Amino acid sequence: MKAQGSIFSPIIAGCMNWGEWGVDLSVDQVCRLIEDCLDIGVSTFDHADIYGHYTTESLFGNAIQKKTSLRGKMKLITKCGIKLVTPNRPSNKIISYDTSKEYIISSVEKSLQNLKTEYIDLLLIHRPSPLMNPQEIAEAFTELKDSGKVLSFGVSNFTITQFEVLNSFIDLITNQVEVSPLCLNPFVDGVLGQCILKKIKPMAYSVMAGGKLFSNDLDDREVRVKKVLTGLSEKYKARPDQILISWIIKHPSGIIPIVGSTKIDRIRLAVDALKITITDEEWFMIWEASEGKPVP
Ligand SMILES: NC(=O)c1ccc[n+]([C@@H]2O[C@H](COP(=O)([O-])OP(=O)(O)OC[C@H]3O[C@@H](n4cnc5c(N)ncnc54)[C@H](OP(=O)(O)O)[C@@H]3O)[C@@H](O)[C@H]2O)c1
């Protein structure tokens, strides 16, 4: 039987901005943020080997090492396959992808060391490579599963065909994709429909459009979306970012939002937003604002 998305918390904490690529938290601050997340039921943490130029997994791992009781209370997601150009990987000359068996296994070994954990709950191929060989990826996944180093597997940013090809070699439990009123693609390209078909839960990143909708520098489309979100937030006595969460989770595929905020108050608002149910018409008001025209 396939593991279901429900093994992960209904809101996932995205760790991309916890370290060098964002607010550069100290180990103690990471410990506190993890504990605060766990207190409000956010028990899944989303990483990638590359975050913070390959340093953020270590930061998080140092927090786990400091407080060893934390690991058993959480699910850890990480990703592999992107090779960044950084002083931390001097042999990488250009940005490229590597989904060879050898690379996937060595990347997981590094993630385990960095995160200071014996297993990863979910490993994702970060981006589809034109050169990926599904047979080889499946062999790597099988070896990692048999050794107990990774419990389940998925992909990120895959098209429906790319998903289908790899899934014919090995069970995948999610496709992590960008979804927001500024990124409507998964609603129309079949990716979310495929998750319904496969009875798996998609995960959505950049649901707050990376914070763009809350900046002061908005283009016409963003102004339209923000206006509708603000109007609805008054009706629901909520915040615009909470309306965004309720818009995402209304889709029948059961999307699990990954919240990228590093502030516990904002993560708590996302959890509280799970209780808000906007109407279908309100959902389409946000859609229409994004498209700049009514649906046909
Ligand atoms: N699979 C992939 O290819 C992929 C790609 C990108 C990201 N991800 C994952 O998804 C997670 C989330 O991505 P993201 O960071 O792009 O997501 P996001 O949640 O759309 O954006 C987070 C940013 O928005 C700001 N923000 C959030 N709510 C706000 C509010 N109400 N007012 C003002 N600013 C607000 C946050 O600032 P504060 O910290 O100050 O709140 C943060 O800078 C990442 O951490 C990562 O785990 C995956």
Q: Is the pTM of this model over 0.85?
A: yes
Atom number, ligand 1, closest to the C-alpha of residue 180: 20
CA distance 198 to 173: 9
CA distance 69 to 119: 15
Atom number, ligand 1, closest to the C-alpha of residue 48: 47
Task: Give mean pLDDT, residues 176-194.
Answer: 98
111 sits in which H/E element = helix 101-115
The pLDDT value given to residue 93: 97
Which residues sit with their C-beta closer than 6 Å to ligand 1?
14-17, 46, 126, 156-157, 176, 205-211, 214, 241, 258-263, 266
Q: Residue 97 pLDDT > 90, yes or no?
A: yes
Q: Which residue has the tokens 């070699």?
A: 169
Go through the domains of the chain in sequence order and give each one's CATH number: 5-173 (3.20.20.100)
CA distance 200 to 75: 17
Mean pLDDT of the chain: 96
3-state secondary structure (DSSP) of residue 202:
coil
3-state secondary structure (DSSP) of residue 87:
coil
Q: 236-259 pLDDT, tens per residue?
A: 999 999 999 999 999 999 999 999
Protein residue with its CA nearest to atom 36 in ligand 1: 261
Question: Ligand 1 pocket: which of 18, 125, 205, 213 to mutate (most atoms <8 Å of CB)?
Answer: 205
Q: Residue 5 pLDDT > 50, yes or no?
A: no
Closest CA to 103 of 77, 133, 76, 75: 133
Task: Give mean pLDDT, residues 91-120.
Answer: 98
Nearest 5 degrees, angle CA 287-CA 288-CA 291? 90
- Under 8 Å between Cβ of 84 and 94: no
Q: How confident is the model at residue 85 (pLDDT cuts 50, 70, 90)?
A: very high
The pLDDT value given to residue 150: 98
Q: Residue 4 pLDDT > 50, yes or no?
A: no
Q: Residue 1 pLDDT > 60, yes or no?
A: no
Question: Ligand 1 pocket: which of 8, 44, 82, 258 to mutate (most atoms <8 Å of CB)?
Answer: 258
Helix axes 160-167, 191-198, angle to 10 degrees: 30
Atom number, ligand 1, closest to the C-alpha of residue 239: 31
Q: Residue 6 pLDDT > 70, yes or no?
A: no
The pLDDT value given to residue 2: 39
- Residues annotated as catalytic are 51
Q: 256-289 pLDDT, tens per residue?
A: 999 999 999 999 999 999 999 999 999 999 999 9
Protein residue with its CA nearest to atom 34 in ligand 1: 211
Q: 11-40 pLDDT, tens per residue?
A: 999 999 999 999 999 999 999 999 999 999
Q: Which residue has the tokens 């934390």?
A: 70
Q: Report the DSSP pairing between strands 82-83 and 96-97.
A: antiparallel
**211 CB-near residues (< 8 Å, 6+ apart):** 260
Atom number, ligand 1, closest to the C-alpha of residue 215: 33
- Under 8 Å between Cβ of 150 and 120: yes
The pLDDT value given to residue 170: 98
Q: Residue 231 pLDDT > 60, yes or no?
A: yes
* Diameter of the chain measured on Cα atoms: 56
Question: Ligand 1 pocket: which of 127, 206, 230, 271 to mutate (most atoms <8 Å of CB)?
Answer: 206
Helix axes 280-291, 220-235, angle to 10 degrees: 160
The pLDDT value given to residue 265: 98
Q: How confident is the model at residue 128 (pLDDT cuts 50, 70, 90)?
A: very high
The pLDDT value given to residue 181: 98
Q: How confident is the model at residue 3 (pLDDT cuts 50, 70, 90)?
A: very low
How many percent of the chain have pLDDT more than 90?
A: 98
